[in-house]
Structure 1
Amino acid sequence: MDKVIEKISDIESAATSIMDRANERKTAFAKDMERRTAAFDHDLETKTSKKIEALRRDMEIEMNHQLEKQRNDWLKLQTALEAHYEEHHHQYVENLFQTMIKE
């Protein structure tokens, strides 16, 4: 009977030891996962920031190109309007004068 009790005690001791090691492994695993998660979050944040900055630079370059194109288009239009005015301003004055006289 003492041998049975001794065997049960040994089994209980082994089970406790196994449970303690499992808890230690579980704690180590949790710490490792926490470390990996933090590293992943940091890496993701860094990559996201770099992509956002690249997009911002690209958009600024595109905006500057569009502004330059609009500026050039405006200058062409302004030049064309001034040329048209210089060519036809006497006719505009004459038409306006005739309109004012008729009334």
Structure 2
Amino acid sequence: MDSIVEKLSDIETTAEAIVDHAEAQKFEIEQQIQARRDKFDEDLEADTQKKLERIRAEASEKVDRILETQRQKNRSTIEALEKEYKENHTAYAQEILKRITEV
């Protein structure tokens, strides 16, 4: 009878050791999974930031090109208007004077 009790006690001790070991492994696995998850999040964040920086840089360059093109168009328009004025300001003044005096 004592040998059966001893065997049952050994089985119970072994079962407890297995459960303890399983819990320890579970904790280690959870830590590994969390570490992988954290690394994934960090990598994803870094990748997202790089892509955002690239998109911002491209957008900034595009806006700068558009603005420069617009400045050149505006400059050309202003130069054309100034040339038109220099060539025809006397005629414009005479036309204005004529309209004022006709009234």
Give the TM-score taking structure 2 as reference length: 0.87
SS at match of 1:71: helix
CA shift for structure 1 position 32: 0.7
- Percent of aligned pairs sharing the same letter: 34
Give the match for residue 96 of structure 1.
96
Distance 2:15 2:77 in 1: 90
- Structure 1 stretch displaced more, 1-10 or 49-58: 1-10
User: Hey, what's the Cα distance between the residues in 2 that align with 1:57 and 1:99?
Assistant: 55
Aligned residue runs from structure 1 range 34-45, under 5 A: 34-45=34-45
Query: What amino acid is the match of 2:36?
Result: R
Counterpart Cα distance in 1 of 2:7 and 2:99: 124
1:87 paired residue number: 87
User: In the TM superposition, what is the alpha-carbon distance from 1:3 to its structure 2 partner?
Assistant: 2.8
Q: CA deviation at 1:92?
A: 1.5
Q: CA deviation at 1:79?
A: 1.6
Instruction: After TM superposition, list the pairs within 5 Å mapping 1:1-103 onto structure 2.
Output: 1-103=1-103
Gaps of 5+ in 2: none
Distance 1:101 1:35 in 2: 90
**TM norm structure 1:** 0.87
How far, CA to CA, are the matches of 2:82 and 2:6 in structure 1? Answer: 112
Structure 1, unpaired ranges of 5+? none
Alpha-carbon deviation of 1:84?
Answer: 2.1
* Structure 1 residue 88, shift from structure 2 partner: 2.8
| Amino acid aligned to 1:29 | I
The residue type equivalent to 2:68 in the other structure is E
